[in-house]
């Protein structure tokens, strides 16, 4: 499948959320041209009809550009909220007592209904309750079967349906609500590539989602709860990728704790070879401003220096006033950082030791050979994508061209660091592998005539997880002309 799309020189991927400001075919195409490598569909907003139209728009772009496109459906997860008030809101004074109870009558400055019985069973004296993204802080002083008494530590206005966070305990809540299950079924029926699971607290949440997905999409676990951080290794073992969802992390944890946690999560994911996305408030000011703050630019740059696979735009591209400019400036920041001579050394500060397997040995050797012989690219033949993920974990300094007969695999690799995935017919012999590697490398402009390329594959060909071949080839300038058919 020839491509009209020039491979990115940039290694880190950009995941752009689509929404009211960016849901037209023309805008989606412009976002891709400006630098978006993958698109997020937020299931928290809109109807299934809206989402279906958006998915169809993205797939049409795939046909237009003749390049696999990546779609991530982000499930809403359980939302904890307080009830309603007589006047729609109430003022809570610092030092006052405020009660959360099971009474469905409208609330006031003394009490309000809490329609989540599981919270009554989980909290205890001293537990913090954060309202409206942490703007109000309540401290539990007494728990009874029908009511939770709290002391108002940080007061302010509380209004109908404001969100509630309970950072100090693991709530007995399933990560998938009935809405999520319906949304998941819809997303899988419409062949999205990734499912993002919200409100993950424990590995069991990921295992349940994997059972429901049954291999029909890849699974990304959002790390946005302190409980998830405490069980990160177990979650990483079960997930295909993770997201550092800094919005809720920043609510439930002191703000000064979030930057080191971000680095720890990125490092842990990279060690295990799981793609990792850094998300939330990266260019927040660009929701209303045509340019970011210098602090936001530095924030994006930090994620790139840390070696994250992808960086994400949320409201900036979904509902902001400057969606195209947001993607464009994020692309420029990432490109500039990767051009920094110190970038490679900073990225490789995280040591990713290979497992004692042939696959990992080949992936590590490919990256080493690139540096030793000055090769210009790595070409991976893969069916499942596992070879590509292993090579990308090494963060090679050259482009990574992924050749796969599976469109599903090619689409899923849109969140992988440095990967340019191309769907093409499989090979059946060593000679065919070498010839195709040369032709596709030249065709996609990954390397030029006279340059060397490192090729990895598995024998027997077409067998997932059998990477055991590494070969160095030198490109001939007229090779593409002599072999037009592929």
Compute how many other C-beta atoms are within 10 angstroms of the C-beta atom of residue 196.
29
Q: What are phi and psi of 103, to 5 degrees?
A: -70, 125
Q: Is the peptide bond before 460 cis (omega within 30 degrees of 0)?
A: yes
Q: What are phi and psi of 223, to 5 degrees?
A: -95, 100
Query: Which residue in 214, 222, 282, 226 sits closest to 254, CA to CA?
Result: 226
List the beta bridge partners of residue 139: 128, 151
Alpha carbons within 13 angstroms on the beta-carbon side of residue 345 total 3
> Is 40 marked active-site?
yes
List the beta bridge partners of residue 241: 220
H-state helical runs in 190-257:
203-213, 226-230, 232-238, 246-252
Q: Is 138 strand, coil or helix? A: strand
Which residue among the candidates 8, 11, 40, 364 is catalytic per the annotation? 40
Distance CA 427, CA 234 (A): 37
Distance CA 176, CA 107 (A): 29
Which residue among the candidates 69, 127, 280, 467 is catalytic per the annotation? 280
Which residue among the candidates 222, 270, 408, 423 is catalytic per the annotation? 222
> Is 222 marked active-site?
yes
Which residue among the candidates 79, 81, 135, 147 is catalytic per the annotation? 81
Beta strands in 13-134 (DSSP E): 13-18, 38-42, 70-74, 89-92, 97-101, 111-113, 128-131
> Is 127 marked active-site?
no
- Residues serving a catalytic function are 40, 81, 222, 280
């Amino acid at each position: 499948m020839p491509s009209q799309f020039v491979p990115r020189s940039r290694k880190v991927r950009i995941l752009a959320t689509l929404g009211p400001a960016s849901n037209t075919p023309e805008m989606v195409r412009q976002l891709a041209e400006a630098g978006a490598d993958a698109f997020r569909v937020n299931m928290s907003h809109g109807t299934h009809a809206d989402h279906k139209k958006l998915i169809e728009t993205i797939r049409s772009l795939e046909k237009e550009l003749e390049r696999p496109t990546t779609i991530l459906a982000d499930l809403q997860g359980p939302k904890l909220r307080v009830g309603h008030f007589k006047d729609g809101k109430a003022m809570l004074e610092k030092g006052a007592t405020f009660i959360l109870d099971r009474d469905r009558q409208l609330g006031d400055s003394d009490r309000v209904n809490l329609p989540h019985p599981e919270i009554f069973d989980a909290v205890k004296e001293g537990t913090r309750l954060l309202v409206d993204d942490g703007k109000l802080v309540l401290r539990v002083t007494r728990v009874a079967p029908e009511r939770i008494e709290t002391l108002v530590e940080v007061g302010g206005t509380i209004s109908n349906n404001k969100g509630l966070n309970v950072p100090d305990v693991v709530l007995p809540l399933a990560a998938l609500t009935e809405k999520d299950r319906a949304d998941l079924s819809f997303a899988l029926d419409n062949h999205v590539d990734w499912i993002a699971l919200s409100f993950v607290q424990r590995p069991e949440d990921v295992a349940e989602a994997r059972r429901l997905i049954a291999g029909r999409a890849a699974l990304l676990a959002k790390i946005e709860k302190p409980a998830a951080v405490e069980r990160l290794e177990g979650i990483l073992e079960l997930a295909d990728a993770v997201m550092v969802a800094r919005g809720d992390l920043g609510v439930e944890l002191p703000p000064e704790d979030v930057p080191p946690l971000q680095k720890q999560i990125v490092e842990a994911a990279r060690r295990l070879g799981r793609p990792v996305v850094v998300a939330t408030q990266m260019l927040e000011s660009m929701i209303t401003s045509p340019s970011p703050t210098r602090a936001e630019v530095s924030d994006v740059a930090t994620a790139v220096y840390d070696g994250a696979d992808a960086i994400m735009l949320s409201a900036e591209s979904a509902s902001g006033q400057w969606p195209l400019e947001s993607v464009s400036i994020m692309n420029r920041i990432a490109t500039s950082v990767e051009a920094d001579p110190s970038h490679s050394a900073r990225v490789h500060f995280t040591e990713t030791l290979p497992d004692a397997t042939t696959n990992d040995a080949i992936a590590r050797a490919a990256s080493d050979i690139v540096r030793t012989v000055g090769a210009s690219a790595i070409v991976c033949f893969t069916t499942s994508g596992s070879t590509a993920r292993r090579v990308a974990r090494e963060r090679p300094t050259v482009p990574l061209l992924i050749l796969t007969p599976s469109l599903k695999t090619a689409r899923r690799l849109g969140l992988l660091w440095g990967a340019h995935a191309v769907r093409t017919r499989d090979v059946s012999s060593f000679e065919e592998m070498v010839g195709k590697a040369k032709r596709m490398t030249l065709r996609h402009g990954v390397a030029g005539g006279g340059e060397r390329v490192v090729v990895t594959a598995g024998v027997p060909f077409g067998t997932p997880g059998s990477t055991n071949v590494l070969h160095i080839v030198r490109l001939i300038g007229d090779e593409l002309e002599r072999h037009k058919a592929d």
